[in-house]
Structure 1
Amino acid sequence: MDWGKGILLSIIAFIAIIMTMVVISVRMEGIELVTDNYYEEEIKYQDRIDDTNSTLELNREVLTFEAASKSVLLDLPVGSKGTLNLFRPSERALDQELAVFIEDEGMKRVSIDHLKAGYWKVQLSWTENGKSYYQEKKITI
Structure 2
Amino acid sequence: MNKSWQWPAGIILTLALFLGFMSWTWFYYHSQQIDLVTENYYDKQIAYQEQIERIQRARELPEPLRLAYIAERRQLEIRFPAFFSPEKVRGSVTLYRPSDAGMDFPVPLGLDREGKQIIPTVGFAAGLWRVKISWEAEGLEYYHEEAVLF
For residue 58 of structure 1, what is the aligned residue in structure 2? 61
**Aligned partners of 2:110 and 2:117 also within 8 Å:** no
2:52 aligned with 1:43: no
Contiguous gaps of at least 5 residues in structure 2: 1-5
2:106 aligned with 1:97: yes
**Aligned partners of 2:69 and 2:148 also within 8 Å:** no
Give the fraction of aligned pairs with identical amino acids, expressed as a percent.
27
2:29 aligned with 1:20: no
The alignment covers a number of residue pairs equal to: 140
- Using the TM superposition, give the Cα deviation of residue 24 of structure 1 relative to its aligned residue in structure 2, in angstroms: 0.7
2:79 aligned with 1:75: yes
- Using the TM superposition, give the Cα deviation of residue 123 of structure 1 relative to its aligned residue in structure 2, in angstroms: 0.3
Tell me the distance in 1 between the aligned counterparts of 2:10 and 2:59.
Answer: 64
**Aligned partners of 1:63 and 1:135 also within 8 Å:** no
Give the match's secondary structure for 2:123: coil
Q: TM-score, normalised by structure 2?
A: 0.74
**Aligned partners of 2:70 and 2:77 also within 8 Å:** no
- Change over 3 Å in CA distance of 1:43–1:56 after alignment to 2: same
Give the match's secondary structure for 1:32: coil
- Change over 3 Å in CA distance of 1:67–1:102 after alignment to 2: closer
- Using the TM superposition, give the Cα deviation of residue 92 of structure 1 relative to its aligned residue in structure 2, in angstroms: 2.2
Q: 1:118 aligns with which of 123, 127, 150?
A: 127
**Aligned partners of 1:84 and 1:99 also within 8 Å:** yes
- What is the aligned-residue RMSD (CA, Å)? 2.6
